[in-house]
Amino acid sequence: MKLGLAYYLVVLVLSTNLIGVEAFAHEVQQKIVERREVHIPLGDFTLVDQNSREFQFSKLAGRVVVVAFAYTTCPDVCPLITAALRQVQSGLTKEERKRVFFLTITTDPEIDSPKILAGYAKRYGADLATWSFLTGDPAVLQKVWKNFGVGVKRKARGLVDHTPLTAVVDRQGRLRFAYVGPAPDVKAVLQDVRSFLVQ
Amino acid sequence: MTTFRLILALLALIPFAGCGRNERMDLIYSQRCASCHGSGGRGDGQIAASLQTPPPDFRETVQRKSNSQIRKVIAEGKGSMPAFDPALRPSEVNDMLQMVRFLSREGRDLAWWEKYDTLIAAHCSIPWEAALGLDDAPEKKP
């Protein structure tokens, strides 16, 4: 019995990630997006953008960054997340856009090459002046996912379960708001982004 | 003569694996399409109402599309619909093409098809893809 409890605790600890999110997309079809206020310093990382250029996260210091985790063949939550981000980007004024950057980080590097990501960005009408779609080496991506507390589980080719996370990172590179669910509320994200612009 | 024509018609279906619906199609469709298009292809999937452009009802649109047009949308995506090439293999894209065609006929008069049920069943029991060497290589694990 004690062994059983210990095993349960070990599994619980191992399966609890940085922001305590266990809601894998596709398995949990939740409609409500949970908004959490957090304070997590993020490490630097280098990935590859939709133009096959190296992209270093630390170069965004001083800007508010909205980060979403998605993959291009995702059949349910990701289209909603990416569409919501597009609305957030459109909702910013010209001046605000200079101080805010958007990142979509793939959870499926097996399929999402830079070329595939470029096509995805185009279909959503993303303004690539302030939005990059990132992929990279799976080992590097795994560290990034872990850094943000995103669980990723490959089910089949082009089919991945992942934590449907959208995050707002402040100008000091700290994760401050985490929205977990299919589509973050555009107004709430805009409000949270603006709260860091006035500071 | 009629039988000969029927055989020719069935042979013409081979490249499209024209056997209506099978378990592999159902699985791929339910995993990758149904959340938007709905299980019956009527554009009423779980997240359809949240999409900026609602998915079409296949019964209204598919009849007017050619196979190459449908295959292109499946492979290259459209709007918020994912591009399934290369995630789906060419034979799987063809499966989804057949599924879309099948769902576009749902609720319509199937009397013509039912007349040839036995022949169609016999045709579909033949592993045409393997016989013609069109089967996919096994998926390599990353």
CATH code (residue B42): 1.10.760
pLDDT: is A136 or B91 the higher one?
Answer: A136
Domain that holds residue A77: 2-197
Domain total in chain B = 1
Cα(B48)–Cα(A94) distance, rounded to whole angstroms? 32
pLDDT in tens, A19-66: 544 445 444 444 578 999 999 999 999 999 999 999 999 999 999 999
B72 CB neighbours in chain A (<8 A) are: none
Assigned domain for B102 exists: yes
Q: What is the pLDDT of residue B124?
A: 59
Nearest-by-Cβ selection for B51 from A79, A119, A138: A79
- Classify A185 as helix, strand or coil: coil
- CB-based contact B50 A156, cutoff 8 Å: no
A119 CB neighbours in chain B (<8 A) are: 76-77, 83
Nearest-by-Cβ selection for B84 from A29, A73, A183: A73
pTM for the model stands at: 0.78
Domain that holds residue B31: 2-131
pLDDT: is B22 or B40 the higher one?
Answer: B40
A29 CB neighbours in chain B (<8 A) are: 46
Here the CATH number for the domain that contains residue A138 is: 3.40.30.10
Please tell me which residue of chain A has the smallest CA distance to B48.
A76
Burial annotation A54-84 (CB, 10 A radius, 16+ → b, else e): ebebeebeebbbbbbbbbbbbbbbbbbbbbb
- CB-based contact B80 A159, cutoff 8 Å: no
Domain total in chain A = 1
